[in-house]
A and B are shown apart, each in its own frame.
Chain A
Amino acid sequence: MNDEMTQQALADAVGVSRQTIVAIEKSKYSPSLELAFRIAHEFKKPLEDVFTYDPEADK
């Protein structure tokens, strides 16, 4: 999406560690609403464009 931004740069911009960004990308961690909004804001995209919900994953 913003492939010119490194994980560390994104982590610094939203106030978390790079490991947290990695965990989010690998779907190993669901960020809080506040963090999700901060990430979407950093990408200048709406929330739904950055994060998706798969109801099948809950089953």
Chain B
Amino acid sequence: MALQPSPSFVQGTLLVVGGGISGMTVAIEAAEAGLDAHIVESSPSLGGRVAQLHKYFPKLCPPVCGLEINLRRLRANPRVHVHTLTTLQSLSGSPGDFEAVLQHAPRFVNDRCTACKACVDVCPVDRENDFDFGMSRAKAIYLPHPLAHPPRYAIDPAVCKRDDCAKCVKVCPVDAIDLAMKPTTTHLHVGAVVIATGWKPYDASHLANLGFGVHKNVVTNMMFERMASPSGPTGGLIRRPSDNKPPRSVVFVQCAGSRDENHLPYCSGVCCMASLKQTTYVRDQLPDASVRMFYIDIRSPGRLEDFFRRAQGQQGVTFERGKVARVTAADDDTVRLTVEDTLSGVVRDVDADLVVLATGMVPSVRPEQLPLKPRHDEVGFGVNDPEGTGIIFAGCAKRPLDVSSSVQDATGAALRAIQSNTRRASHG
């Protein structure tokens, strides 16, 4: 009786690995064109990195707005099949004719869950919340984020006490919790495979020279994004971690570990815009705080230049060309930066209450770790190779991109998925 997809003149099947904005876009766009699309996501929810963001540049609009529309399209479309807590175990075949084996890790919460929250109130486990980069605490049973899809709780098996506790099992009014759940596998035959595994932040623990891990008041851009979010660790208040006071001065350090042979030789393309955006968070919330940004080149391509101009127009926000060579502790609450002015060659010290490192993007999954070992470039991003595996890369698995460019790229990948299916048809 449930809604059946109507026939369409585009036909075929698609497997998308990754349920962030790129993967969701590939699946939804392809499904609306007529393909049956399976999204495989390793975490318990769709949404990926954009779910962690407070605002998008350059409109300073909320990511939940676009995410909601995409989820609405996805929920309403019987051609999209979502597999969370799932990984691609193996893959064989070629375009038009792939065999995939999916491995589903147990969620320990079944489809009956209504996200009523009763379980969270009784869960005794207190763990570091990785969604907030350790800046907040969470329970063993949790909803990954407010717009999580599916809107169902999941249990972190690494910290759950299972049968020794089982308080959630007793309190759940709909018998949704099953601590005995086991991993399962599914076999899928699909005409196209898209890898949209996205990115992770460059590991800032390599940046001790820039004070990360040395001084509490040195955070990464993604940590700062969580701090500014109303659903984040401080409820959206910008605070210096050492004493939770509002910072009087904030310094953004661009290319922290990027364009640097010792770290990432490439540029991540979005960190300039992200920092420009984050200067507006500080300006809106702390009108008296001084804000400085040290950069090598400001990269605000295309119409994003308007946003750079807008950021420059803010009172008390300065942009200085300079290379931050070293970050140390001035005292418990103050960070000292040693900055070389690359124009004059002058080296000077700058003190700040809060330092934000603009760290770059690293592919979440290296192509050589994937089945069939698709082609990759010298810095580890995937390369489309129609004559080779025929696996299609989309979004930040292919190159560092902002959200709009990821969506653009993912839409094109959806077309390639249709073509990949057509190949089978035309070959007989």
Partners in one complex: no
Residues of B within 8 A of A (CB): none
Residues of A within 8 A of B (CB): none
